[in-house]
Structure 1
Amino acid sequence: MDMLTQHRLIRRAQRGDPDAFATLMTDMAEYLTRTAYLYLADAHDVQDAISAATLAAFQALPQLKQPRHWRTWITRILIRQCYARYKVKAHEIYAQEHLPEPPADTGQLTTEEKMDLLAGLREINQAHALTLMMFYYHGLSIKEISALQDNPANTVKSNLRRGRQALRDWLGEDYL
């Protein structure tokens, strides 16, 4: 969907048009699902988080001041919902087949190594982990991550570098 159409739909939704909001959410469905799976391993939790984020976004939509920040705004709402569910589920043991695939070219990794990588992402600084996930899982560019996080590009680069180093430290320098 182009930005002009998206801005018009956001303005209509802010005035109370549920169809406009539904169109916006339908357009974001795949992105929101992929994002939620980065934080939650269970499909039910993912759907619960998306549902709760949708409701929260619909209720708070009049507070969105600039339509150009729509994607960032809805992403932050979703991430908050995922963290709420993650805190509840953090101590449960998940079946390996329900874990999301780790980023990039990890086809040669064993299941244990994939689980260690995901555990490492959950253990390092959240800002660094989020930046790593956006870069590797979603394939977003530094410029796109910068816009989503409202951070300068150099901050995103620093977060990537620090995140990689923290992951190496957590896993061990020669782990992968």
Structure 2
Amino acid sequence: MEHDLDRVKRAIGGDRYALQELLHAEKSKLYRMAFAYVRNEDEAVEIFQQTVLKCIESIHQLKKPEYFSTWLTRICINESLSVKRKGKRLNLMIELLKQPGHQDFSGTLAHGMDVKGALEALPDKYKTALMLRFYQDLSIQDIANVLDCPIGTVKTNIHRGLSSLKSKLKGVYEDESGKRFN
């Protein structure tokens, strides 16, 4: 989400009203991100609150105002992963959007296995990359900025995550022609 750079600069300079407006514009995205990680309303609200608190405490450290939204998303991801590390239940819900060259997993269940269960079995780096790409609809470049890693790493994590999902779900979902995907 593009923000008025002047407003971001004012927030960095200490204008609490400008920061409040920026956070208001981001609140639903941050809440959805947190909820996708924990699938628990109370925990998602707590993660959102911690994200806002950390933002307020450290907005003055933001070096590039044009990356405000990416910076804030990264704080939310870190808070969500922190909840997981503390032993909280992680239960991702992600809807894979149709993307050329990738299987659409929106078909019917054949053997009781579901996408959610397959996602839970993925390593965090794959879950996070897939979630940012398909749930938040971020570009590869934006994901690299959020995760502070090279574009090639993001592409690799998305590809490996989708490949892993495909192999875990092999034979469970059928494509539109009725063939099971390989």
Q: Report TM bin, short chain.
A: 0.7 to 0.9
Kindly indicate whether the alpha-carbon contact (under 8 Å) linking 2:118 and 2:169 is maintained by their aligned counterparts in 1. Answer: no
Kindly indicate whether the alpha-carbon contact (under 8 Å) linking 2:126 and 2:161 is maintained by their aligned counterparts in 1. Answer: yes
- Greater shift, 46-55 or 148-157, is seen at 148-157
For residue 113 of structure 1, give the secondary structure of its aligned residue in structure 2.
Answer: coil
Q: Which residue of 2 aligns with 1:41?
A: 39
Within 5 Å, which residues of 2 pair with 1:1-176? 2-3=2-3, 5=4, 7-86=5-84, 87-90=86-89, 100=93, 102-104=95-97, 106-110=105-109, 112-114=112-114, 117-169=115-167, 171=168, 173-176=170-173
Structure 2: distance between partners of 1:137 and 1:20: 28
Cα-to-partner distance string for 1:104-150 (whole Å, 9 max, x where unaligned): 3554444x533xx2233233222221111122222333343334334
Structure 1: distance between partners of 2:94 and 2:157: 22
The number of residues matched between the two structures is 165
Cα-to-partner distance string for 1:7-62 (whole Å, 9 max, x where unaligned): 22222122222111111111111211221122011111111100111001110111
Runs of 5+ consecutive residues of structure 1 not aligned to the other structure: none
Cα-to-partner distance string for 1:73-105 (whole Å, 9 max, x where unaligned): 1111111211222333228xx8xxxx7454335
- Greater shift, 10-19 or 139-148, is seen at 139-148
Kindly indicate whether the alpha-carbon contact (under 8 Å) linking 1:120 and 1:167 is maintained by their aligned counterparts in 2. Answer: yes
TM value normalised by structure 1 = 0.77
For residue 88 of structure 1, give the secondary structure of its aligned residue in structure 2.
Answer: coil
Kindly indicate whether the alpha-carbon contact (under 8 Å) linking 1:40 and 1:46 is maintained by their aligned counterparts in 2. Answer: yes
Q: Which AA in structure 2 matches 1:68?
A: E
More helix by share: 1
TM value normalised by structure 2 = 0.75
For residue 14 of structure 2, give the secondary structure of its aligned residue in structure 1.
Answer: coil
| C-alpha distance 139-130 of structure 1, shift in aligned 2 (>3 A) | same
Structure 1: distance between partners of 2:95 and 2:53: 29
